[in-house]
Amino acid sequence: MSSAPEISVVMANYNGSPYLAAAIKSLQSQTFKAWELILVDDASEDDSVDIATRLGENDARIAVLRQPTNRGPAAARNRAFKVVRGQWIAVFDSDDMMLPRRLEALRDRARNDKASIVADNLLVFADNARAARPFLTNDLSVTSHWITLADFIDSNRLYSRTPDLGYLKPFINAAMLRNAGITYDERLHIGEDYDFMARLLAFGPKLRLEPSALYLYRKHPQSTSHRIRKEDIVALLDADERLVCGMSTVDGPVRLAIRRRKQSLESMLLYDRVVTLIKTGHYAQATALGVGAPRVWPLLTRPVRARWNRLRARGHSSKLAVHEISERPQ
């Protein structure tokens, strides 16, 4: 690479070969050309490195780094942070894509609104879906907004009225990030994006939200959310404790948002306990525990709702049998 780019695109990849070429080509199709791609391959077992290397043979803006062992996306992104040269850093997943004007729009939004962190709306799509759908559909999808730390935390809990803003992919001022000294928490296996953004916002800046949906977020079998393990929930609770301990002051709205998120995570722990009891045949204990915790009731009905929706999609909603409703979680 020769002259320093204005935007550094950071990509962590692990076994992403089915989608990697489309992701990189969408970056190469950007209207904004002064970028570099720092792709850190997390010890993939497929041909991801070959694909990235081949695409970079005629594009000096692409750099491919290899992790000797698989350490997770947080570690991969942290390694990329150490070598970026741009004024701005854009986080980009290897199974997603961008619309052609995304980098230009985010750079312009950051400049015009004097924002240190910007994120745009998502277009969520699946390989078998006919059309993409916007992730944010309320007023956040209409006009630009400033998102505070309290707003961000409160969106990342059960039953929030705002979609989980932790899914958004940030565009960050590199000098601010270096000054804050914030990196991804490599102890987290899920929720590392949320934790990283929360700690950035706790440092001081607000998040400027670009309402246009310019990031194409792919849902596929390998990325489908699964039931979070108990260990993951405990790790998130610990990370939130570290967030609070790292803040010099915690104002009222932030304190309330943190308390609601903690209650949400504790409800998920309780749900995990109830499901475990059901799976091991301890139905009386599961019933007693569930009855005494109204916050987990909506979670307990989700498997039934999901099955109902699947059957409706197949055109069999009128034939839902009693044993389908009463079936224990697998």
**CATH at 167:** 3.90.550.10
- Which of 173, 198, 219 represents a domain boundary (last residue)? 219
Q: Would you place residue 315 in the very low, low, confident or very high pLDDT band (cuts 50, 70, 90)?
A: low
Residues 47 and 118 in one domain: yes
pLDDT of residue 293 exceeding 90, the answer is no
Residues 173 and 251 in one domain: no
Does residue 57 lie in a domain region?
yes
Q: Would you place residue 129 in the very low, low, confident or very high pLDDT band (cuts 50, 70, 90)?
A: low
Q: What pLDDT is recorded for position 224? A: 46
Does residue 173 lie in a domain region?
yes
Residues 156 and 243 in one domain: no
Q: Would you place residue 330 in the very low, low, confident or very high pLDDT band (cuts 50, 70, 90)?
A: very low
pLDDT of residue 326 exceeding 60, the answer is no
Residues 131 and 155 in one domain: yes
pLDDT of residue 255 exceeding 60, the answer is yes
Q: What pLDDT is recorded for position 196? A: 97
Question: pTM of this prediction?
Answer: 0.86
Range 149-172 average pLDDT: 94
Going by C-beta distance under 8 Å and a sequence separation of 6 or more, which residues neighbour residue 6? 32, 34, 35, 86, 87, 88, 107
Residues 150 and 282 in one domain: no
Does residue 296 lie in a domain region?
yes
pLDDT of residue 318 exceeding 50, the answer is no
Q: Is-contact 47 18, C-beta < 8 A? A: no
Range 201-227 average pLDDT: 84
The least confident of 218-227, 287-296, 298-307 is 298-307
Does residue 148 lie in a domain region?
yes
Q: What pLDDT is recorded for position 223? A: 60
Q: What pLDDT is recorded for position 144? A: 95
Does residue 252 lie in a domain region?
yes
Does residue 225 lie in a domain region?
no
Range 131-147 average pLDDT: 93
pLDDT of residue 329 exceeding 50, the answer is no
Range 68-93 average pLDDT: 97
pLDDT of residue 316 exceeding 80, the answer is no
Angstrom distance (rounded) from CA 6 to CA 84: 10
pLDDT of residue 302 exceeding 50, the answer is yes
pLDDT of residue 27 exceeding 80, the answer is yes
Structure tokens at 260: 């609601």
- Which of 219, 243, 273 represents a domain boundary (last residue)? 219
Residues 41 and 183 in one domain: yes
Residues 158 and 215 in one domain: yes
Strands 207-219 and 145-147 turn out to be antiparallel
Residues 106 and 141 in one domain: yes
Residues 209 and 243 in one domain: no
The least confident of 85-99, 201-215, 314-328 is 314-328
Q: What pLDDT is recorded for position 285? A: 85
The residue with greater pLDDT, 179 or 326, is 179
Range 205-211 average pLDDT: 95
Q: What pLDDT is recorded for position 107? A: 98
The residue with greater pLDDT, 159 or 179, is 179
Residues 250 and 191 in one domain: no
pLDDT above 90 covers a percentage of the chain that reads 70
The least confident of 9-18, 127-136, 284-293, 304-313 is 304-313
Range 212-236 average pLDDT: 82
The residue with greater pLDDT, 318 or 240, is 240
- Which of 195, 219, 243 represents a domain boundary (last residue)? 219
Does residue 121 lie in a domain region?
yes
CA 225, chain centre distance (Å): 11
Residues 254 and 274 in one domain: yes
Does residue 187 lie in a domain region?
yes
**Total structural domains within the chain:** 2
Range 318-325 average pLDDT: 32
| Cβ neighbours of 322 (radius 10 Å) | 7
Residues 133 and 251 in one domain: no
Range 166-188 average pLDDT: 96
pLDDT of residue 37 exceeding 70, the answer is yes
Angstrom distance (rounded) from CA 114 to CA 174: 14
What is the extent of the structural domain holding 288?
A: 230-326
pLDDT of residue 313 exceeding 70, the answer is no
pLDDT of residue 296 exceeding 60, the answer is yes
